[in-house]
Each structure stands twice: as structure tokens, then as C-alpha cells.
Structure 1
Amino acid sequence: MAKQRVVILGLGRFGLALGEELVASGVDVVGVDSLERAVNAAEKLTHSVIADATDIEALKQLGVLDAEHVIVAIGEDMSASLLAVNNLKELGVTGVWAKADSQAHAKILRSMGVNNLIRPEFSTGKRLAHVISGHAEDYIEFDLDYAMVKLAAPRWLHGHKVADADPDIVAIKRSGRTFRPAVPEDIISPDDILIAAGPVKTLERFCERRR
């Protein structure tokens, strides 16, 4: 089976870290940046190229149409980010992901038809807030209104069935064991660790009702 090919436009901290992780996972990664020092630092990527992502001809030569995914990791320079996305759309690239550093940036990208938005600072901030507040051990938001949370079984659920919980309990970890899918008949014990999934507001109410 041929390796998956990904092109990353922008080799700042985020783009470089993402590229290195993809390479470690067996993905063929082409990193692109207009700055020589950024390209020189990308020695762990499969290929790294000095090029201007706002130049549509340069993107053609990079073979973006042959990539399964093209990630616009240019966040701070909004105009460059939007130009790069516009170029990819004009070329007919379908697997476009884009990093947005602000709500306004994200809104414009959505209006351009980019559904795969990356907001690392926003996502990390929300996750950390839930962990620090003591409401959860981990928190992942997948969409504007859907998330998963890992937490110790709330006291009010002890002795109840998984089916009694709202939101859905999708996995359960008993003391000394590993996680497994939860079933409606499972009785929740004080030592259980749960993974729940559902609308963000429902999860927040669930986490806050710890006692």
C-alpha cells in the first residue's frame, strides 16, 4: 500500500510539530515555507521546500493535487492563510485543513468552504480549563457542539445503571482494569472511570454535578 501523502503549508511551531508526528506515523510529508530557516529546521520531514504558498503556480509545482490532505498551518498571517486556501480551492484540492488563530479567521475560512478547521490554542485552552477546574481528567471537543470527557464516576451515579446517565457513557474502566465499551446494564461503582460523550452543554452539566 502506498504511503499517504500530506502537504503542510507553513512550518512554524505547529506545522513542524504536526509534520514530525505524521512522519513518525508513517505518512509522507512535504513541508513548505517561504523562510529558509524554517525549511532548514524541518529535517525530520520527508521533504521540505522553500516556496510561497500564496503563489498558485508554486502550489501546482508542489503537486498539491496529488496529496490526500493539504494543511494550511499559516495562522498568524491571516491574509497569507486566506490566499493559500483560495489558491487550493481554485486548483480543486478537496482535502484542505486550515489553522485559525482567531474567531474571525475561523469564520472567514468557513465561509470559504473549509470544514476542517484547526484551532490548537482554543482547543488546548478549553481542555486545560476543564482539567484545572477539577470537573474532568481529560476533555476533547470534536465539533462546535460535541465533545467527550473522561472523569471519575460522579457520586450521584454510584449504584445506577449506565443507561440512567445523560449524556451517553461510551466506555468504562473498572479498578485495576483497562477501558472497555460500556453497556446499558453496567452498574456504576465508586472506583469506576467513565468516558462520556454528547453535546457540550450536557457534558458541562454532567461534570459539574459531581456530588
Structure 2
Amino acid sequence: MARNNRSILVVGLGRFGSSVATTLDSMGQDVLAVDKDPELVNRWSAQVPTVQADMTDVLAVEQLNASDFDTAVVAIGDSVEASVITAGNLLDAGISDIWAKSVSKEHARILQRIGARHIINAETDAGKRVGHLVSGNYLDYIEIEGSHTVVKIHTPSHVVGYSIADAKVNERYGVTVVGIKAPGSEFQYGSKELVMHRNDELVIMGKQDNIDKFIRG
């Protein structure tokens, strides 16, 4: 079931942060991107809401009303110190859902110790994938060759209690249920008679627009 849009603060507009921010914005999420570099802010301002600020400064965090945001992504990669201080400032501001990019095991360990909930290994987690995960609609997201995507989601409310065949998942939405994992049960491949229950995890494949349509119902 898709959750309501959340407000997300993305700090750092390098290659990774800009990819996260633009992905979230394209999904209709309420996103604000922040960087202390005016050139980067200017470069991305036409594509995503941006503001210039140094988030290692507590005063800047307060002026941005950071405490109003549900989630923050700390995408600073050029300075471990700035990354850790920023994450700490955002935690102090009351944002508990912090996603922070790490550039080393030591960096990740420090971020975990101060309370960052999700540590992103920037070498393996592409910004686009992280953007989709941060949005909260997907439990996992894998982009494959061509226009298709594989995602893991909870059963959308409009198909709870229906079999894959009765819900006409493929005919109506153009997506394929690859398999279903019910709580406490083994993964089952998506045969047409399988019934989708509320807390099941569905692995589905299809084009991005069709997947979003299936989630929304």
C-alpha cells in the first residue's frame, strides 16, 4: 500500500545527491535540496526546489525549519566531518529518519553511532534506487536493462484478498507478480491462483508508470 507523500530534505547536490533529489521530485514527493555551493544550487534549481545553506551550521538548520521534514538524506561525500556534523544537526532538529551516504566503513560506523537510521554505500547504491526507496512506496527497487523495473512492495489495499488472476494484475496494470512472500512463510512464485494478503510482500516487474498505477489502484 502506497504511503502518503512525505517531506524530504536532501543535503548535498553532487552526482549522488542530485540523482536522489531529482528522482524524488519526479515521483511527486515534497523535496527540498540544499547545498552550500552556489554553483550547484544554481545548476539544479530549474529541476528541483533548491536552497543555498551550510547545514553544518545549527543556525542554518533552524532557519530552514529542518524539523518540519519527515526524512533527510545526507548526501555529502567530500567531507566526512561535514557529513557527520550535518547528520547530527538534523537528528538534533528532530528528524529521526536519516539516510546518510558513507564513503568508508569508518564513516558508516560513526553515522550509525550518532543515530543515522539508514547508511547508504554510495559505491553500490545508485542515487535513483535510493530515491525510490526513500519515497517509502517500495521495500526494494532494482532497475534492469531496458524500461523495466523490479520492485518489492506490500500488497496494495485494492487487491488484498484477491488472487492474481481475479485481480487481473497483468491485464489491468501491465505488471507481473513474480512472487509473494507471506510473513513466516517461504517465497512462492506468482501463480495465478495465489491470493494476495495485507502484509504480504509482492515482488513485481513492469514499466515504472505501470508499477505506480498498480500501487495507487
Q: Deviations over 1:79-123 (max 9, x none)?
A: 000110111122222121111011110011111111211112134
CA–CA distance in structure 1, aligned partners of residues 4 and 115 of structure 2: 29
Report Cα offsets for 1:10-57 as digits up to 9, x if no partner: 110111111001000001211111101110111244421111010011
Aligned length: 139
Q: 1:68 to 1:45 in 2, by over 3 A?
A: farther
2:29 corresponds to: 27
Alignment of 1:101-180 (within 5 A): 101-123=103-125, 178-180=176-178
* Residue 17 (structure 2) aligns with: 15
Deviations 1:115-172 (A, max 9, x none): 2111121346xxxxxxxxxxxxxxxxxxxxxx999xxxxxxxxxxxxxxxxxxxxxxx
Whole-angstrom CA distance in 1 between matches of 2:20 and 2:141: 22
Unaligned runs of 5+ in 2: 127-139, 143-174, 190-202, 204-217
Paired with 1:5 and 1:72, the residues of 2 have a C-alpha distance of: 14
One-letter code aligned to 1:118: I
Partner of 1:143: none
1:94 is matched with: 96
AA paired with 1:181? G
Taking the aligned partners of 1:78 and 1:26, their CA distance within structure 2 comes to 31
TM-score, length basis structure 1: 0.58
Question: How many Å separate the matches in 2 of 1:107 and 1:52?
Answer: 23
Matched, 1:6 2:8: yes
Whole-angstrom distance in 1 between the partners of 2:9 and 2:180:
38
Task: Indicate the structure (1 or 2) with the bigger Cα radius of gyration.
Answer: 1
Q: Displacement of 1:76 after TM fit?
A: 2.3
Runs of 4+ in 1 over 6 A off after TM superposition: none
> Which structure has the higher relative contact order (CA within 8 Å, separation 6+)?
2
CA shift in 2, pair 1:94/1:122, >3 Å: same
Compute the TM-score of the two structures, normalised by the length of structure 2: 0.56
1:63 to 1:182, Cα distance in 2 relative to 1, 3 A: closer
2:69 to 57, 67, 70: 67
Q: Quickly say closer, same or farther: Cα 1:25–1:72, change in 2 above 3 A.
A: same
Q: CA 1:88–1:148 in structure 2 vs 1: closer, same or farther (change >3 Å)?
A: closer
CA distance in 2 between partners of 1:114 and 1:182 (Å): 31
**Using the alignment, how far apart are the partners of 2:49 and 2:76 within structure 1?**
18
